Amino acid sequence: MAGQPRRNHETDRQLALPVGLVVVLAALVLAVAVQSVVRDEISAHDGQTAAILTFLVILGMTTAIRIRIRSTTQAIQWCDVAIIIGLAVAPPATVVVCTAVGVTTAYLIRRRAFIKSAFNVAKETVLAGAAWLLLHTLGWNAQSARTLREVLLPLLVAYCLLVVLDELVMLPVIALDTGTPLLDLLRANLGLRLVSAAARLLLIIVTLLIFRLDPRLLLVIPPLVLSLHLAYAGRLRSREERQAWQRLARTTDALNVVDPDLVLRTAVAQSAELFSADEVEVELFGAGRLIRGDTESITYDGPISGAPETADVVIPAALTRHDDHEAVGEVRLRFHGPVKLSEREHYTLRTFASALCTAIRNADAYAELDRVAQEQAHAATHDALTGLPNRRHLMDSGNEVLRRQHADGVVALLLIDLNHFKEINDTLGHAAGDRVLIQVADRLSSAVRDEDLVARLGGDEFAVLFRGLPAPAVAAHRAETLFTALHKPFDLDGMRISVEASGGIASAPNMGGMAELLRRADVAMYQAKRTGRRMTTYLPAQDTADLGRLVLGGDLPRAVADDEFTVTFQPIVELSTGEVMAAEALARWQHPVHGTMDPLRFIDAVERSGLLPAFTEAVLDQSLMAARSWREAGFDLPVAVNVSPRSLLDARFPGAVLARLRTHDLPPDGLILELTETLALSQLEVVDQVLNQLRDEGVRLALDDFGTGYSSLSMLSRIPVHELKIDREFVMAMENSAEAAAVIRSTVDLGRSLGLVVVAEGVESEPQRQALWELGCAAGQGHLFARPMAAGRLLGALQQGAEGRPGTLAPPLHEAGSVIRLSPSRRGGPRRQDRLPHLPA
């Protein structure tokens, strides 16, 4: 025992108490039984019966069904059958003595370990004594029992006691010996133990029936027990093999992962359970790595030389594939005691080792492919010389930042160009120039914050993307820090070289994304170079690219004359039912050279050109014509048209609008005018007159982009609108931003209190639709329902409908008749003005 690990010594000490108690109790029972046998006279017939009983006990012990649990074997034996049969045909004391003698003889024949043999002899002796005590307590006597019921019932009760006591005594000892949780042992092979107990019970009943027919037939019981055992053991082996292959299949399937570390950890845990091993270790020859553990955890993972030595019994298997004799390692089953695997278990171990070898090689190959892919992805987005992100990385990261800049603060870009860098390459060589670029990259990276991004765009040009700035002016202050870091001389082969640089700063634009931001920073940088300044901030007035707007302005007369302005329509849908309530007209310029342009690119030129009335009239004509076609087809849908703030300064604007309505034979409430950024003009008296005249005539008004900063609650009372439109930015952010959800909720509450319809823009998913409806928002528009489309195509979509319901573009949120738990914001009940067509004039 000197070589056993510390845990085994502790286990032996824990086992000493329960084993000792069982042995002492068995000695007492056996002493009482021997005294009783000596006191009573034993006839020749009793001696013959005792011999048969002893033989039955030996047979029951040697024909056991054995189940290995780690390094301990649990046996399902037939000894309890011999005990119960013996109690029916012989004095109980004789049965106890025969049990002790038979079990001892069986273990002597099998030459088992002394401690294990002593425990099992004591256990079976105690069980026989317990059955004797139970029958004595019940007042049962084999000679006095007359009827079959009087014979069977007490004996069956005694048998149940034996089965329960056997489990109560054996399982805790096995749990201590193997370190297996008691509940796991109780559940393990429970079905097998129950079936075996039922089979033994049936054998007892048959034997007792045979004995009542003729006691001499007792001699046929040993062959019957042996036959039943062979039949049952064969069936058990077949079942065990089938289950073993199923467990092997599940285990090998679990190895099909692409992480090499996970493959090894899974192999250790799964194989420890598959082979009921105390521990399993896997050694990889090439990596010099060993990982060891059990079903619960990994106990060692590191170099082979550092693994702790133990005196466990080890059963190895080489990690080779069937088509390859080169081993990549070895898997070893470790047991705390002697274990002999069956031929089937050896074959299972070899099969598992082959599957593990394949899994390791596949995972290694995938890891190598993933490493190469990551290197290639890194190379595609980083500069090879400096290791900084390249232009592609800057553009991708910048566009991602710009999409959420309202939540994360101001975004600005600094573009840096090294002055006279060509002289360094020409004088000192390109290798020296490369070392200078590397030092520039290091200084820039060290001088920025973690959230900022430094990139090399190529040559001697660098960029710094500032994120989360509290104000645009802060960018210039941080840029000065970077230029100060670059102003210090560079050490190059003992020479001190000064590098000058020029820079341009630009704040994130409202449109154009990262490409526009980079263009503006480039404009500012070249402005700094022209003026001889170290750094310049972008100013729109100095941007020569604005000349393009002048070119567009020159094309406007032709565009109006040739009807190059077209209109598409995006439906506005009732969130609850999916019914289309209105459609917003979206103007586009089909330019023969520049292609399709949205109003953000040409509306300024239109407003400055003097052609705004003609442009507005063209858009109104197309919009009202579309609304007329929908009405004639049976869909009375108002059309919403965006109005330029400059149009509201024209006192003739209401008359022009009403004239277009009469031309197309549409009632005034068939038109909704959306007011964009009009709050700055709302103080002007002419604007108030224009808006009030339109409203008095029945034209409905909507306030667009409400909540973005252009709208003011103090001005809302001056603007006689019917609708509020929530900006798409709040809708997109509402799922992740409590502030955005609060803005939407307050807007809905405000609209309800003023009797206004609230329309949410940018609805792109069902969760957004559901959340908006729960917040009390009645209507929405966005790609979830439809993208902008031509008037005829929208009419076709209305006629087809959603799920066969004309006039709808989405299924209802709730089925008819369903019970809906309303949020507090919606429990006030529906309002009449929650439907666009029924707004009061």
Q: What is the DSSP string of 653-705?
A: HHHHHHHHHHHTT--GGGEEEEE-S-GGGTTSHHHHHHHHHHHHTT-EEEEEE
Assign 502 to helix, strand or coil. Answer: strand
Assign 472 to helix, strand or coil. Answer: coil
**Residues in the chain, pLDDT under 50:** 1-7, 547, 677-683, 709-711, 825, 827-841
Q: Provide the pLDDT for residue 678.
A: 45
* Alpha-helix runs per DSSP H in 220-316: 221-254, 260-274
Q: Which long-range contacts (CB under 8 A, 24 or more apart) does 217-224 make?
A: 218/49, 218/52, 218/85, 218/89, 219/52, 221/56, 221/85, 222/52, 222/55, 222/56, 222/59
Measured between alpha carbons, how far is 425 from 428 in angstroms, rounded to an integer? 6
Q: For 416-437, how does the pLDDT look when each residue is reduced to its tens digit (9 = 90+)?
A: 999 888 888 877 888 888 999 9
Measured between alpha carbons, how far is 75 from 60 in angstroms, rounded to an integer? 11
Considering all CA atoms of the chain, what is the largest pairwise distance in Å, rounded to the nearest integer? 136
Q: Provide the pLDDT for residue 840.
A: 31
The Cβ of residue 616 has, within 10 Å, a number of other Cβ atoms equal to 23
Asked if 93 contacts 33 with a C-beta cutoff of 8 angstroms, the reply is: yes
Residue with tokens 């097998």: 192
Measured between alpha carbons, how far is 731 from 762 in angstroms, rounded to an integer? 6
Q: Provide the pLDDT for residue 324.
A: 63
Measured between alpha carbons, how far is 357 from 601 in angstroms, rounded to an integer? 63
How many alpha carbons fall within 13 Å on the CB side of residue 240? 19
What tokens were used for 95? 């049965």
Give the predicted TM-score (pTM) of the model.
0.40
Asked if 87 contacts 95 with a C-beta cutoff of 8 angstroms, the reply is: yes
Assign 580 to helix, strand or coil. Answer: strand
Give 15's contacts (C-beta < 8 A, 6+ positions apart).
173, 176, 177
Residue 302 φ/ψ, nearest 5 degrees? 175, -160
Domains in the chain with CATH codes? 7-219 (1.10.1760.20), 255-369 (3.30.450.40), 391-541 (3.30.70.270), 565-838 (3.20.20.450)
Q: Provide the pLDDT for residue 803.
A: 85
Q: Provide the pLDDT for residue 216.
A: 62
Q: Provide the pLDDT for residue 238.
A: 67
The Cβ of residue 550 has, within 10 Å, a number of other Cβ atoms equal to 10
Pairing of strands 700-706, 671-675: parallel
Q: Provide the pLDDT for residue 225.
A: 61
Ramachandran region, residue 667 (left: φ > 0; alpha: ψ -120 to 50; beta: rest): beta
Q: Provide the pLDDT for residue 59.
A: 72
Give 607's contacts (C-beta < 8 A, 6+ positions apart).
644, 646
Give 284's contacts (C-beta < 8 A, 6+ positions apart).
264, 290, 328, 329, 360
Q: Provide the pLDDT for residue 734.
A: 85
Burial of residue 653 (CB within 10 Å: 0-12, 13-18, 19+) is: buried
DSSP conformation class of 508: P
Asked if 33 contacts 91 with a C-beta cutoff of 8 angstroms, the reply is: no
Q: Provide the pLDDT for residue 65.
A: 57
Assign 467 to helix, strand or coil. Answer: strand
Burial of residue 150 (CB within 10 Å: 0-12, 13-18, 19+) is: middle
Give 750's contacts (C-beta < 8 A, 6+ positions apart).
713, 716, 724, 756
How many alpha carbons fall within 13 Å on the CB side of residue 673? 30
The Cβ of residue 356 has, within 10 Å, a number of other Cβ atoms equal to 27
Ramachandran region, residue 811 (left: φ > 0; alpha: ψ -120 to 50; beta: rest): beta
Q: Exposed e or buried b for every residue in 205-240, given b needs 16+ CB within 10 A?
A: bebbebbeeeeeebeebbeebeebbeebeeebeeeb
CA separation, residue 449 to residues 166, 180, 318, 445, 482 (Å):
72, 54, 53, 8, 11
* Alpha-helix runs per DSSP H in 111-147: 114-137
What tokens were used for 648? 């509201």
Give the DSSP letter string of 296-349: S-EEEEEEGGGSPP---EEEEEE---TT----SEEEEEEESS-----HHHHHHH
